Amino acid sequence: MGVKTWIEGWPVYRQLTGADPLGRGAAAQSPKSKALTARTETADRVAKSVCPYCAVGCGQRIFVKDEKVVQIEGDPDSPISRGRLCPKGSASLSLVTSDRRQQKVLYRRPYGKDWEELDLDTAMEMIADRVLAARDATWQDSDDDGRPLNRTLGISSLGGATLDNEENYLIKKLFTAIGAIQIENQARI
């Protein structure tokens, strides 16, 4: 950096030579301030999404930079929400990016006093084992009069109101196929 640049970078110099003699505006602006730009403008892409909290269904835009979500805000195009979000919707960015989010599978063994980490694939195999075992142990082919039951009452499930339709569809389809009928969600609550 030349002396000239350095001097010109000194706000006092700009005060003396520019239109801001009192040093309250243009002269005092730092290079960083001058270069500021909204991170939504520099995002790599924008995903059109929907708020995950209540059922109003406000439109959201999710801004992604370097494969990280950098901002979530209202989608002005939405005829439902017109770009607006409530405090919960406005907190969506921290919902997604919070470091309090669990990112590891955790396992508590019977009578255990604490969590242990578990590999995802192992966990999936273990859960499949348990589903099949519970199903076999509690399977009901038919009632006393020979009417078909085709089911297990040994497995329950609760949840779905926060999930996608496609997910609920697969959940219901799979559980129905294995004969698990005790499938419920918030709509009952």
**What is the footprint of other proteins within residues 89-148 (CB under 8 A)?**
89-96, 98, 100-115, 118, 120, 123-128, 130-134, 137-139, 141, 143, 147-148
Query: 136 to each of 140, 151, 155, 171, how far by Cα in Å?
Result: 9, 10, 11, 19
What number of chain residues touch other proteins (CB under 8 A)? 146
CB 61, min distance to other proteins, A: 9
Does 4 participate in binding other proteins (rule CB under 8 A)? no
> What is the Cα Rg of the chain in Å?
29
CB 100 within 8 Å of CB 114: no
Nearer to other proteins, 4 or 32 (CB): 32
Measured CA to CA, the distance from residue 99 to residue 141 in angstroms comes to 47
- Binder among 1, 2, 3, 33 for other proteins (CB under 8 A): 33
Site string for other proteins, 159-178 (x = CB under 8 A): xxxxxxxxxxxxxxxx-xxx
Does 3 participate in binding other proteins (rule CB under 8 A)? no
Work out the angle at residue 80's Cα, subtended by the Cα atoms of residues 75 and 83, and round it to the nearest 5 degrees.
25
